[in-house]
Amino acid sequence: MAMRNSLRAAAPFAVPLAVMAAIFAFSAMPSDGVDRGPLMLVARKIAHFVEYFVLCAAWWWALRTRVGGRQALAPAVAISIGYAISDELHQTLVDGRVGTWRDVLIDSAGVLTAALTIHRLRARRRDRATARR
C-alpha cells in the first residue's frame, strides 16, 4: 500500500521529467556541421520555444498537485528557465554544438508564454465561476 501511494504521488512528475530527458537527449546529439539553411534554423528555434512551453506547463501541472495552481507557477517557471540555462551549458560539452544565450532567451520566451497562458486561463476560469454565483 505504501509503495502504491508513493507511485501515485510521484506520477505527475513523470511527465516533466520525461520532457527534460527528451531535451537532454536531443542536446546530446553531436552536430554534423552541415548548414541546412534558414528554414531549418527557424524550425529549430520554434522547436526550442515549443519544448520549453511544454516543459513549463508540465511542471506547473505536476507542482499544482502539491502546492495548488497559483503557487505552482513561479517554481515551474524557475525550474524551466534553470533547465534552459543548464541545457545550453551541456551543449558546450557536445562535439560540434555550442550553447548560446540567444537559445536561453528563446527557451525563456516559451516558458513565459506558457506561464502567461496558464495565468490567463486560470483567471478566465475564476471569472466564469464568479459570474455563475
Mean pLDDT for the stretch of residues 6-13: 83
Would you state the cell numbers that stand for residue 103, as one nine-digit string?
537559445
Residue 62 in this model has a pLDDT that exceeds 80 = yes
> CA 44 to CA 58: how far, in whole Å?
21
Helix extents (H) in the chain: 2-10, 14-27, 38-67, 69-91, 101-132
> What pLDDT is attached to residue 126?
83
> What pLDDT is attached to residue 120?
95
> What pLDDT is attached to residue 96?
87
Residue 59 in this model has a pLDDT that exceeds 80 = yes
Residue 2 in this model has a pLDDT that exceeds 80 = no
Contact (Cβ atoms closer than 8 angstroms) between residue 105 and residue 39: no
> What pLDDT is attached to residue 91?
94
User: If you average pLDDT over every residue of the chain, what do you get?
Assistant: 92
Contact (Cβ atoms closer than 8 angstroms) between residue 99 and residue 35: no
Nearest to 52 by CA among 28, 74, 85: 85
> CA 22 to CA 43: how far, in whole Å?
17
Contacts of 58 (CB under 8 A, 6+ apart): 15, 16, 19
Mean pLDDT for the stretch of residues 58-68: 94
